[in-house]
Structure 1
Amino acid sequence: MIDLDLLRRHPDLEAPGLQATDAADRLILDEAGPALADAAHGEVVVIDDAYGALALGAVGAGARGVRVHQDPITGERALAENAVRVGVSADDRPLSRPLEPQLVAGARVVLMRLPRSLDRLDQVAELIAVHAAADVRVFAGGRIKHMSLAMNDVLANRFARVDVTHARQKSRVLVASGALGPTSGARPSDGWPRRAHDEALGLTIVAHGGVFAGAAVDIGTRFLLDVLDDAVPDAATAVDLACGSGVVATWLARRRPEVVVRASDRSAAAAASAALTADANGVADRVEVARADALEHLPDTSERLVVLNPPFHSDAAVHTGIATHLFADAARVLEPGGELWCVWNSHLRYRPLLERLVGPTRQVARNPKFTVTASTR
């Protein structure tokens, strides 16, 4: 057995009240216990495991050849570190894979945390139903306060049967079985990734399930774009940090034909979406997309302009530590005199933090909900 209490979130945000595992992980593992014991080598897949509790718990229950997909790159790294921490041998360690058909091919048992996004759940459920073994069972769980009946409906579109377990410690598991493939009664798919055209911006947006705002432009980003022409207009390159679907990166590349834009996001779904959005708008040759923890792939003092619409959730928890990490890395990458342009919910009051981590900060624009600031390194 694996002692899940030994797991850590590192290199992700660590702070009091933020845990690497919770009761939902333990309940998923308990409900799937008999299925894990019966699974042959390579028949267990884990999806959207936060820091390795499900994947390592499955190994502890006897599963071997476990394949796993975690959207944040920090989750992959935490799983690798936790595998060493709890003493899992190199031969038995879960294998990280992209979210594609090969991830689930032949799988008979899938463990997953229910994502906050119904689009993400639909994309994952469709992938499993179409490409896993016909008798696959999916054990998808979470904290009850973050679950909704709509999740049952999404799974029911892809599986003939969805059972609901008894609650334990404010957690619950949905067990889906009877995969509905393309010819067996599944709801027709709208196709992933999704694409939409924003007439106001003249951009086509492409997004995988779970990417912030999906194939649309959130109101904070739209407010930022209204003033972004004034951001370091002579910069030869620009950085779109936490790029999401790549709207800012693509907009900058379209507005500034001479500029190379470096977009990054820790999310695999976001990085893939940003590359597709750039391609859909004819600027893929000038938008470089990286899946990275903040700006780890860029050298110190190398950029004159960084643009950021910072997330403020760590999993389900609201925490300013995420913004702190992003602000600090932007400061590291900016050359002296370079600027971080940032849009944020005004109630978060980030200006003192920006002053401390980056440098002198001026307000560029403000409306009843959002503030745009420019911080000079």
Structure 2
Amino acid sequence: MTTPWGETELSRFPDDPRDRLRAWDASDAYLLRHLAEEGVDLSGEVVVLGDRWGALATALAAHRPTQITDSFLSQEATRANLARAGVGPGAVRLLTTQDPAPERVDVLLVRVPKSLALLEDQLLRLAPAVHAGTVVIGTGMVKEIHTSTLRLFERILGPTRTSLARQKARLIFCTPDPALARPKNPWPYGYTLPDGVGVASGRPVVNHAGVFCADRLDIGTRFFLQHLPEGPRGRRVVDLGCGNGVVGTAVALADPEAEVLFVDESFQAVASAEATYKANGVPGHAEFRVGDGLAGVASGSVDLVLNNPPFHSHQATSDATSWRMFTGAEQALRPGGELWVIGNRHLGYHVKLKRLFGNCELVASDPKFVVLRAVKKGERPADG
């Protein structure tokens, strides 16, 4: 990426030479050009919110910014990109969306997220640290910035306007108004599961901002809950890409002897899963982990993996994440262990599962979704 301060080599995480998706876009470059052309004072406390792959934090590392992200993968990409640029590990302060907000912000740079709820939550958390002299600039591609986005900045921070579009990117300029009466943060948000979803019916769910379908049960998960596997008690189960944790919690409710590992790359999601699990008072054992799929889980240590894989990486449609999830599951499962997948019918996950496991069974289907089951080859040990 070419910046006003030179060229920066960037990569997504995990680094894959076959991945043609860049680690930055025109909106990142537009923001950096504006900072240089306008001579924005970066000597104070600079906060970068929603930096996708560390492009902004890496380019501004000399100003010792604080990066706030919901994504474990983005945070790891930032670390790798900083190291690639020869920047010391302490140059950028890395925070998650679950960490306490900085006490003071002099320059707030916002990479507009896909989730308006996450933007609302984070602006409300940062608002007390913003003062009348804070420079607030948002950036995003034209298709990512809507009237509702601008209204959110205006409602929480102050008067807001946009720039002209360049290379299909746009900037947002907000003038903080310390006297503005800000609304109460509505997140996290809770609701009760509807009837007809098995053991989870009528159970509470807790959602932090940015989690998929945070205000209601999505139809795919509803279908999955109706067709969860039954089996021996005391299994080690992984809710992979757990979101708000409703699937793993349903397993724990059905089998209090199960050991359930909730995994997601979103800090907001794992916090939601832990809150949902605790809200249901499940007596079993659970672990909550933010990470890259099943990386770090011992091979052959899991009996069952339940997975609803995403097929978008920000605005790009990609099957890279689902493939990593499937291969990670195959490695983590014991011989005879099972991967159960819910997905849109058109995604063709059965092809990938047959290639990886050598088998794939259709468990259930409706006009939109399929539930698939793949079994790891080999016999389960006798003491299994």
Whether TM exceeds 0.5 here: the answer is: yes
Residues 136 and 176 of structure 2 are in contact (CA less than 8 Å); yes or no, is this contact kept in structure 1?
Answer: no
Instruction: Measure, in 2, the Cα distance between the counterparts of 1:322 and 1:178.
Output: 38
**Shift in CA distance, 262/101, structure 1 to aligned 2, threshold 3 Å:** closer
Q: Deviations over 1:275-300 (max 9, x none)?
A: 11111111275221100100113100
Matched, 1:48 2:46: no
Q: Within 2, Cα distance between the matches of 1:4 and 1:160?
A: 34
Greater Cα shift, 283-292 or 20-29: 283-292
Partner of 2:202: 202
* The 10-residue stretch of structure 1 (98-107 or 147-156) with the greater mean CA deviation from structure 2: 98-107
Deviations 1:316-349 (A, max 9, x none): 1111111100000000000000000110100011
Distance 1:279 1:4, change over 3 A: farther
SS in 1 for 2:237: strand
Q: CA deviation at 1:184?
A: 3.1
Q: Aligned to 2:163, which of 165, 168, 182?
A: 165
Distance in 1 (alpha carbons) for counterparts of 2:13 and 2:98: 26
Deviation at 1:189, TM superposition (A): 2.2
Q: Which amino acid is 1:226 matched to?
A: Q
Count of residues in correspondence between the two structures: 368
Counterpart of 1:29, as a letter, is: L
* Post-superposition offset of 1:221: 0.9
Q: Does 1:184 pair with 2:180?
A: yes
CA distance 1:15–1:72, change in 2 (3 Å): farther
Measured in 2, the distance between the counterparts of 1:101 and 1:178 equals 23
- Secondary structure of 2:270's counterpart equals helix
Asked whether the equivalents of residues 235 and 304 of structure 2 are also in contact (C-alpha less than 8 Å), the reply is no
- Offset of 1:119 from its aligned partner? 0.4
SS of 1:69's equivalent in the other structure is: strand
Equivalent-residue separation in structure 2 for 1:327 and 1:36 (angstroms): 48
How big is the shift at 1:108?
A: 1.1
| Greater shift in the superposed pair: 82-91 or 261-270 | 82-91
Secondary structure at 1:108 match in 2: strand
Which residue does 1:253 correspond to in 2? 252
Q: Is the 8 A contact 2:233 2:255 kept in 1?
A: no
Name structure 1 gaps, 5 residues minimum: none
Choose the corresponding residue for 1:113, options 72, 89, 111: 111
**1:2-40: CA deviation from partner (whole Å, max 9, x where unpaired):** 545511113166645411011100112223347875233
Evaluate the alpha carbon distance shift between residue 198 and residue 25 of structure 1 in structure 2; reply closer, same or farther with a 3 A threshold.
Answer: same
Give the structure 2 partner of residue 306 of structure 1: 305
Q: Which amino acid aligns with 2:333?
A: L
Q: 1:4 to 1:266 in 2, by over 3 A?
A: farther
Secondary structure of 2:206's partner? strand
Gaps of 5+ in 2: 196-200, 377-384
Aligned to 2:263: 264
Q: Percentage identity across aligned positions? A: 33
Tell me the distance in 1 between the aligned counterparts of 2:349 and 2:212: 21
* TM-score, normalised via structure 2 length: 0.90
| Counterpart mapping for 1:1-377 below 5 A | 3-11=6-14, 15-33=18-36, 37-41=40-44, 43-59=45-61, 62-64=62-64, 66-91=65-90, 93-99=91-97, 102-179=100-177, 184-186=180-182, 188-200=183-195, 201-230=201-230, 232-283=231-282, 286-377=285-376
RMSD (CA atoms): 2.1
Distance 1:47 1:54, change over 3 A: same
Q: 8 Å contact 1:109–1:137 — kept in the other structure?
A: yes
Residue 240 of structure 1 aligns to a residue whose secondary structure is strand
- Superposition TM-score, scaled by structure 1 size: 0.91
